[in-house]
Structure 1
């Protein structure tokens, strides 16, 4: 089930407590571009299929990452791409976007996504996994 763009951004805006949809969209673009560099193959394609089209394209044409970033460096990279961001605000951005993406993905796909990522991303997606 593909989320409509407005519904997706409304959720990100609410979770990130942004003043505008523009801010929510900026966060979504950066976070999904970074996430896309960490996912490969069928898992990335399946997640893209569940996102609004323009965000799906960002996920499928990601920023290049030399190696998978651990969660804290993922947050730092997000901060570097968002003007005026701090690590604290970037952590908020990442969480707002990834928790919304997790809802779109559903539990089964999210489980496969987490297998492709370094340990600790379950918390960024707002879905702590049992150890």
Structure 2
């Protein structure tokens, strides 16, 4: 069941702390257009099915990426598309949009989305993979 447009946008606006829903909408459109270029096949179709129609269409008709962007370059590309953005604000934009998309998608689909992306995107989706965190935690020393 797809999330409603207003609900999706409200969550993006809240997480991104945007002054208006128009700001949240612009961030969502940009980030999803870039994300769509990185996903293929069933995974992209299933993610689109969980998103509000407006954003689903953007995901399915994405900006073309010549190559898969690293997480860092994805943030930079987002900054380039959003007027007045810096890499810091763009990282915030990407995190807000992708974490809401991950919530809409659910854990299983989010995991499959991450498998199609270069390493590092788990943080952007707010789903850090805890493969190394245990080794670095103080109680294991």
- TM-score, normalised to structure 1's length? 0.99
Deviation at 1:130, TM superposition (A): 2.0
User: What CA distance in whole angstroms lies between the structure 2 residues aligned with 1:68 and 1:10?
Assistant: 29
- Determine the structure 2 residue equivalent to 1:106: 106
Alignment of 1:21-40 (within 5 A): 21-40=21-40
- Determine the structure 1 residue equivalent to 2:6: 6
- TM-score, normalised to structure 2's length? 0.92
Deviation at 1:98, TM superposition (A): 0.2
- Determine the structure 2 residue equivalent to 1:49: 49
User: What CA distance in whole angstroms lies between the structure 1 residues aligned with 2:18 and 2:40?
Assistant: 30
- Determine the structure 2 residue equivalent to 1:127: 127
Alignment of 1:74-113 (within 5 A): 74-113=74-113
Structure 2 gaps of 5+ residues are 132-141
Deviations 1:69-115 (A, max 9, x none): 00000000000000000000000000000000000000000110000
- Determine the structure 1 residue equivalent to 2:69: 69
User: What CA distance in whole angstroms lies between the structure 2 residues aligned with 1:79 and 1:5?
Assistant: 23
Structure 1 gaps of 5+ residues are none
- Determine the structure 1 residue equivalent to 2:117: 117
User: What CA distance in whole angstroms lies between the structure 2 residues aligned with 1:25 and 1:109?
Assistant: 23
